[in-house]
Structure 1
Amino acid sequence: MFNQQSINALPVHQSTPGTGAPALQGLRVVDFTHFIAGPLATQNLADFGASVVKVEAPERGDDFRHYPTVDPEIPAQGGPFLWANRNKQSLGLDMKSEAGLAVAKELIAQADVLVENFSSGVMDRFGLDYATCAKLNPRLVYCSISAYGREGASADRLGFDPIAQAESGFISMNGYNDRQGVRTGAAVMDVATAMSATNAILLALMARNRDGVGQKVEVALFDTAIVMTGYGAMQHLTTGHEPRRNGNVSPDTCPSGVFESKDKPFYINCGNDKIFQRLFEQVLARPDLANDPVLSQRAKRLEHRERIFQVMNEAFAKQPWSHWAPLLRAANVPHGQVRTLGEALASDEARSRGLVTRIAHPVKGWIPNIANPLRLERTPCVPPKAAPAVGQHTQAVLRDALGYDDARIARLEAEGAFGAAAAAQSQKAAA
Structure 2
Amino acid sequence: MTSPVGPLSGLRVLDLTRVLAGPTCTQMLGDLGAEVIKIERPEAGDDTRGFAPPFWPETKESAYFIGVNRNKKSVTVDIAKPEGQALILKLLESSDILAENFKVGALAKYGLGYEQLKDRFPRLIYCSITGFGQTGPYAPRPGYDALIQAMGGIMSLTGEPNGSPQKAGVPVADLFAGLYGCIGILAALNHRHATGQGQQIDIGMLDTHVAWLANQGMNYLSTGENPPRLGNQHPNISPYQEYPTKDGYLILAVGNDPTFERFCKSFGQEHLLADERFATNPNRVANRDLVTQTLTPLMKTKTTTEWVAALEALKIGCGPINTLKDVFADPHVQARNMTLEMHHGSGATVKVIANPVKLSATPPTYRSAPPVLGEHTDAVLSGILGMSAVEIDTLRAKGVL
Q: TM-score range by the shorter chain?
A: over 0.9
The residue that corresponds to 1:35 in the other structure is 19
8 Å CA contact 1:108–1:136 kept in 2: the answer is: no
8 Å CA contact 1:145–1:219 kept in 2: the answer is: yes
* Structure 1 stretch displaced more, 400-409 or 22-31: 400-409
CA distance in 2, matches of 1:281, 1:364: 59
8 Å CA contact 2:13–2:37 kept in 1: the answer is: yes
Number of residue pairs matched? 400
Distance 1:378 1:98, change over 3 A: same
The equivalent position to 2:223 in structure 1, one of 231, 239, 260, is: 239
The equivalent position to 1:382 in structure 2, one of 365, 369, 377, is: 365
After superposition, what is the alpha-carbon deviation per residue over 1:330-367, rounded to whole angstroms, capped at 9, x for unaligned? 11111110111221122122111111232222325311
CA distance in 1, matches of 2:336, 2:285: 36
The residue that corresponds to 1:421 in the other structure is none
Question: Secondary structure of 1:136's partner?
Answer: coil
Q: Note the C-alpha offset of 1:271.
A: 1.9
CA distance in 1, matches of 2:98, 2:289: 54
| 2:59 matches 1:74 | yes
Distance 1:364 1:406, change over 3 A: closer
CA distance in 2, matches of 1:109, 1:340: 47
Unaligned 5+ segments in structure 1 are: 1-13, 419-431
8 Å CA contact 2:131–2:204 kept in 1: the answer is: yes
After superposition, what is the alpha-carbon deviation per residue over 1:159-198, rounded to whole angstroms, capped at 9, x for unaligned? 1011111111111111122132111120011111111000
The residue that corresponds to 2:35 in the other structure is 51
CA distance in 2, matches of 1:122, 1:151: 14
| 2:395 matches 1:412 | yes
After superposition, what is the alpha-carbon deviation per residue over 1:55-98, rounded to whole angstroms, capped at 9, x for unaligned? 010111011110011258432x2100000101100001111222
Corresponding letter in the other structure for 2:339: V
CA distance in 1, matches of 2:126, 2:286: 52
* Structure 1 stretch displaced more, 343-352 or 102-111: 343-352
The residue that corresponds to 1:97 in the other structure is 81
Overall identity of the aligned pairs, in %: 32
Question: Secondary structure of 1:295's partner?
Answer: helix
| 2:100 matches 1:116 | yes
CA distance in 2, matches of 1:114, 1:84: 17
| 2:378 matches 1:395 | yes
Corresponding letter in the other structure for 1:376: L
8 Å CA contact 1:264–1:320 kept in 2: the answer is: yes
The residue that corresponds to 2:325 in the other structure is 342
Q: Note the C-alpha offset of 1:270.
A: 1.5
8 Å CA contact 2:123–2:199 kept in 1: the answer is: yes
| CA-based RMSD | 1.8
8 Å CA contact 1:33–1:116 kept in 2: the answer is: yes
TM-score (normalizing by structure 1) = 0.89
The residue that corresponds to 2:143 in the other structure is 159
TM-score (normalizing by structure 2) = 0.95
| 2:379 matches 1:372 | no
8 Å CA contact 2:345–2:372 kept in 1: the answer is: no
8 Å CA contact 1:278–1:290 kept in 2: the answer is: no
